[in-house]
Structure 1
Amino acid sequence: MDTGSIAWGVAATALVLFMTPGVAFFYGGLVKAKSVVSMMMMSFGALGLISVLWILYGFSMSTVGSPLDFAGNPFSDFGLTALAGGKDGNTGLLGATYGATFAIITVALISGAIADRAKFGSWMIFSGIWATLAYFPIAAWVWGGGWIMNLGTTLFGKDAGVEVIDYAGGTAVHINAGAAALALALVLGKRIGFQKGITKPHNVPLVLLGASILWFGWFGFNAGAEWLNELHNVGLIVVNTLGATAAAIIGWIVVEKFKDGKATSVGAASGAVAGLVAITPACANLTPGWALLLGVLAGALCAIAVELKFKLGFDDSLDVVGIHLVGGLFGTLYLGFFATSTGLFVGGGFEQLAVQAIAAFTVLIYSFIVAFVVGFAIEKTIGFRIKNEDEIAGVDTSVHGEEGYALVD
């Protein structure tokens, strides 16, 4: 492999790793001032724990020898010893590290649903178990030779030319994290006094900073894997990542203007994230015009979807469900209609939509069940939610003994 491609692989890995601190800033700005440390620590805790687990056994689990396998053998290369000593160790270890950054941010995304009320230790236990039972196997299903990767051939044969399209993580990352977030929101219950308008972002510039870092890092997220393909498709991926995200900002703030009378900066930031989520699975398989349409529709749809928690009565604190689950589902299913050559409206049949839907809803159901069972077990044993008095006093001081802002005379 040429040195330029390897260099891009290193740069893309750093970009995606930087996205998890971006999540921390984005989420941190959205919560109350007395919860900002807790919120950001959940992302940094995931960064530490999932990195270690991925190197120990997660990477080994993310590749299977047969589509019938649930996951790879976690002990097949424990600690990546064999990979490091192999003839392809240089690029192999780089690929493993790039994969780790996806596992990290997927777990970190879930934390937004349980802001202001979760114990840090319980969160870390949940993160490790859920990653092992959900993310690592699902990564194998989608990208590591598993059943989702082979679904089109299984159902329609090789000649149909149809396969599940999830270039960068609509199912494995966003639907996966969004479904788990919904499950944890149900397990932990509502915050004290939960109702529309009760809490406002304590630091709007922090929200915009986090969204900007996410957009910056997302070019590594979407285009990073092109280092393995000698950057053949990188131009299309990059322009779609820009266009869909920009269009989603417009879609969100237009809905916000009609709905609430004002277009807000937090709405623009949330719209950008919604667009990034939606284009993630589709970035390499849409022409730029269809990517723009995807973005504006995703921004509008997610702006409406974030209101569901008030109507349905679940407390998804930072709208992980409304943005990541809804946006991930929309971007994944959109390919069934507009994926280049195989989408229903651009020369294909129903086959693409069928495999997209099967993959999306299977991941949703499986991730939700795993997260609910694990979260419920933690809540009923060591406890997952902090005490009411600690929530009122502030989770930062009660859990971490710190304050986000030290104000002195």
Structure 2
Amino acid sequence: MNNADIAWMLTATCLVFFMTPGLSFFYGGMVSKKNIISTMLQSFVALGIVTIWWVLVGFSLCFGDSVYGFIGSPMTFLGMRDVGLAPNALLSPNLPMILFAMFQLKFAVITPALITGSFAERINFKGYLLFILLFSTFIYAPLCHMTWHPDGLLKLAGVLDYAGGTVVHMSAGIAALTGAMVLGSRINKTNQPVNIPFILLGTAMLWFGWFGFNAGSAFGANGEAAMSFATTTCASAAAMVTWVLIDLFKGRKVSAVGTCIGAVVGLVAITPAAGFVTVLQSLIIGVLGACLSYAAIVVKNKTKLDDTLDVFPTHGIAGIFGMVATAVFAKDVGLIYGETETFIVHLVALIVVFVSVFFISFLLYKITNKLIPMRVNRDLENFGLDQSQHNEQY
């Protein structure tokens, strides 16, 4: 084991941890004043719930001995058994196994937290806590195992996901779409951000933490990490500027909210490709990702779908585009290099993942709703979730 690699991965793990509080500020600033605490807490509480789940069984489901390439055996690392300072030849040959596990934990934490933006301002907090556990067990764990475990089905098929475009953003975005459909629209769809400085702060924290998200996925202090750092920076910058230019072209004033959304879209779009593409290609991915997500929001706003904070148009659409863009630009195996196999595999995987996550999440929402009603009643929604769910106010 190399001390430089260990130091970098400790840093990267801290950076990814930083993203979940960043998300809470990003989402919290976008909702109405009476729902800001509840919205922010939905992100924060995932740090506790998912961590306990991860230690008990989650890590083993994600990275335990493969069961038909679909999911890890819950007994392999049950209760973090045999997860210590020694490296694991299959999973973490150059790192302590416990460090690898803690790095991967932070991905598992933020994924269900991302979903919360779709049903913000109307969710029963207790129902949400149950949904976190169900989503993590029946969607995140199998998808993580299939994509990132060396014996996973998608991994063996040739699917490339450098840092979570499929595992994190597609799964969260699709589950968000399902959640918005199942829970229905809010009573009053105001969409007036309560605290724009919070949104700016949250974006900065997310962008900063994303360097650990993407560059950390090199699992060492090396050139690949440096390139991932660069592509992450450039894609986000390109998407942010593109979002601003689209607003100007449409005759709108440049808004802080739009600028921040553009930056986050770029981060999402580059995530699956970060270690596989050049800096120039990352600029293209950022520009196209922003255009697609912007268009998706315009289309969504013409429908009755109440995805409160546009989780599907930003994380879902940008994640889907990032998966396809990876198959187009990935070094040596991408479509632009004359190779078609990776591109075809990604298209098939995209369809399979979309359909499976959509229907499984739909089922999980229905199960949760039977056990604990997921939506608050009309009076509590009008009163505000901060007071009705937590007896607190901003």
Interval containing the TM-score (normalised by the shorter chain): over 0.9
Equivalent position SS for 2:81? helix
Aligned residue number for residue 147 of structure 1? 153
Matches of 1:66 and 1:206, distance apart in 2: 42
- Alpha carbons 1:219, 1:238 under 8 Å: kept: yes
What residue in structure 1 maps to residue 161 of structure 2? Answer: 166
- The match for 1:407 is none
Partner residue, 1:51: 51
Note the 1:156-235 alignment, pairs <5 A: 163-194=158-189, 198-228=190-220, 230-235=221-226
Aligned residue number for residue 78 of structure 1: 78
CA contact (8 A) 1:67 1:147 kept: no
Percent of pairs with identical residues: 39
Alignment of 1:253-268 (within 5 A): 253-259=244-250, 261-268=252-259
Contact 2:146 2:153 in 1 (8 A): yes
Structure 1 pair 97–87 and aligned structure 2 pair: CA distance change class (3 A): closer
Moved more, 354-363 or 211-220: 354-363
Preserved contact between residue 64 and residue 74 of structure 2 (Cα < 8 Å): no
- Write the deviation string for residues 74-117 of structure 1: whole angstroms up to 9, x where unpaired: 12221112223867697100000000000000111001101000
**Aligned match of 1:130:** 135
2:383 paired with 1:393: yes
Contact 2:191 2:308 in 1 (8 A): no
AA at the equivalent of 2:226: G
Partner SS for 1:82: coil
Provide the C-alpha distance between the structure 2 equivalents of 1:283 and 1:67, rounded to a whole number of angstroms: 29
Equivalent-residue separation in structure 2 for 1:58 and 1:385 (angstroms): 27
Gaps of 5+ in 1: 152-162, 405-409
1-structure distance, mates of 2:17, 2:348: 30
Determine the structure 2 residue equivalent to 1:25. Answer: 25
- Which residue identity does 1:91 align to in structure 2? P
User: 1:66 Cα shift?
Assistant: 4.7
Q: Residues 251 and 298 of structure 1 are in contact (CA less than 8 Å); yes or no, is this contact kept in structure 2?
A: no
Deviation at 1:64, TM superposition (A): 5.3
**Pairwise CA distance, 1:67:** 7.5
Distance, in Å, in 2 between the alignment partners of 1:135 and 1:67 is 16
Task: Tell me if the contact between 1:67 and 1:141 (Cα under 8 Å) persists in the aligned partners.
Answer: no
Q: Residue by residue, what CA displacement relative to the aligned partner does 1:275-309 show, whole Å, maximum 9, x if unpaired?
A: 00000001111111111011111112212211232
AA aligned opposite 2:214:
N
- Counterpart of 2:349 in structure 1: which amino acid? A
Name the SS of the counterpart of 2:253 in structure 1: coil
C-alpha deviation, 1:334, in angstroms: 1.0
> What is the DSSP-based 3-state SS (H/G/I as helix, E as strand, rest coil) of the residue aligned with 1:312?
coil
Structure 1 pair 380–83 and aligned structure 2 pair: CA distance change class (3 A): closer
2:102 is aligned to 97
Secondary structure of the residue that 2:308 maps to in structure 1? coil
SS at match of 1:83: coil
1:339 matched residue in structure 2: 330
CA displacement, residues 156-181 of structure 1 (integer Å, 9 cap, x when unaligned): xxxxxxx2211001100000100011
For 1:251, the equivalent position in structure 2 comes to 242
Runs ≥4 in structure 1, deviation > 3 angstroms?
Answer: 64-67, 85-90
Change (3 A) 1:188 1:38: same
Provide the rounded CA distance (Å) in 2 between the counterparts of 1:100 and 1:276: 20
Any idea what SS the aligned residue of 1:306 has?
helix
8 A Cα contact 1:67 1:150, kept in partner: no
Determine helix, strand or coil for the equivalent of 2:159. coil
Q: Is the 8 A contact 2:67 2:73 kept in 1?
A: no
How many residue pairs match? The answer is 388
* Secondary structure, aligned partner of 1:19: helix
TM-score (norm 2): 0.95
What SS does structure 1 have at the residue aligned with 2:71?
A: coil
In 1, Cα distance between equivalents of 2:248 and 2:370? 43
Deviates more, 1:308-317 or 1:170-179: 308-317
Corresponding position of 1:11: 11
**Offset, 1:65:** 4.1
- Structure 1 residues 87 and 244, CA, compared in 2 at 3 Å: closer, same or farther? closer
For residues 108 and 102 of structure 2, the distance between their equivalents in structure 1, rounded to whole angstroms, comes to: 10
Measure the CA separation in 1 of the matches of 2:119 and 2:87: 44
Cα distance per residue 1:353-377 (max 9 Å; x no partner): 1111222232222222121111122
Show the counterpart of 1:307: 298
CA RMSD of aligned residues (A): 1.6
Measure how far apart 1:118 and its partner are.
Answer: 0.2
Encode CA deviations 1:248-291: one digit per residue, 9 max, x unaligned. Answer: 00111112223352221100100000000000001111111111
> Aligned partners of 1:54, 1:289: CA distance in 2, in Å?
37
> Unmatched 5+ residue regions in structure 2?
none
Structure 2 CA distance, aligned partners of 1:279 and 1:386? 36
**Conserved in 2, the CA contact under 8 Å of 1:26 and 1:210?**
yes
Contact 2:85 2:96 in 1 (8 A): no
Distance in 1 between the 2:85 and 2:228 partners?
34
